[in-house]
Amino acid sequence: MAEIVIYYRFGGEWKEKEDGSYKWCPRNKELKSIVLLDDPNKVKYSEIVDCVFERLPVSRRSTDLKLSYIPLVSIEAEPKFILDNFDAKCYLLDRCAILQRRSILHVELIKNNESGEANDKERLDVDGNEGLNNLNDEIIQEDYFDKDMEE
């Protein structure tokens, strides 16, 4: 059994910079961590989500999570969104070969209405970006919780 430590930031969103690269724009500077006690090949997406939710100051009924990271590649990369078990496995196995370091996980908090479903505006934003999602599972939302983000 392996110990997997994942560091993550939450409550922000990705913004594309003028040069085409991406920057995580956080609402706070807090860095959190979780520990999974399992083989990286066996960890499920739902396990990561469950562990992250346990450490967040939000209600699971009123919030969805969108997990992402920047892959450790030699070229500028766009954020990679973790949507399923395969994506989770890729994230856990994507480490710098020399230093055995993993990219920080970024967690967007998607506010739901009281019924636990994303509101119509958020759903429209996701649907409007479906074409981009085919390239790298990227989903960008405008007016995230209707607050301005630092650029």
pLDDT at residue 127 greater than cutoff 80? no
Q: How many CB atoms lie within 10 A of CB 148?
A: 8
Please tell me whether the overall predicted TM-score, pTM, comes out greater than 0.85 for this model: no
3-state class (DSSP) for residue 130: helix
Higher confidence at residue 147 or residue 74? Answer: 74
% the chain with pLDDT above 70: 70
CATH of the domain at 62: 3.10.20.90
Q: What is the pLDDT of residue 123?
A: 37
Give the pLDDT confidence of 20-72 residue by residue, as tens digits: 889 999 998 899 999 999 888 999 999 999 999 999 988 889 999 999 999 88
Cβ-count burial of 27 within 10 angstroms (0-12 exposed, 13-18 middle, 19+ buried)?
middle
The predicted structure's pLDDT at residue 8: 96
Domain with 52, as residue range(s), is 3-146
- Name the percent of the chain in helix, strand, coil, to the closest 5: 25, 30, 45
Closest residue by Cα to residue 82 from 57, 60, 108: 108
> How many domains is the chain partitioned into structurally?
1
Q: Please indicate, yes or no, if residue 39 is contained in any of the structural domains.
A: yes
What pLDDT is recorded for position 97?
54
Query: 28, exposed or middle or buried, with CB in 10 Å at 0-12, 13-18, 19+?
Result: exposed
The pLDDT value recorded for residue 99 is 64
In a domain, 44, yes or no: yes
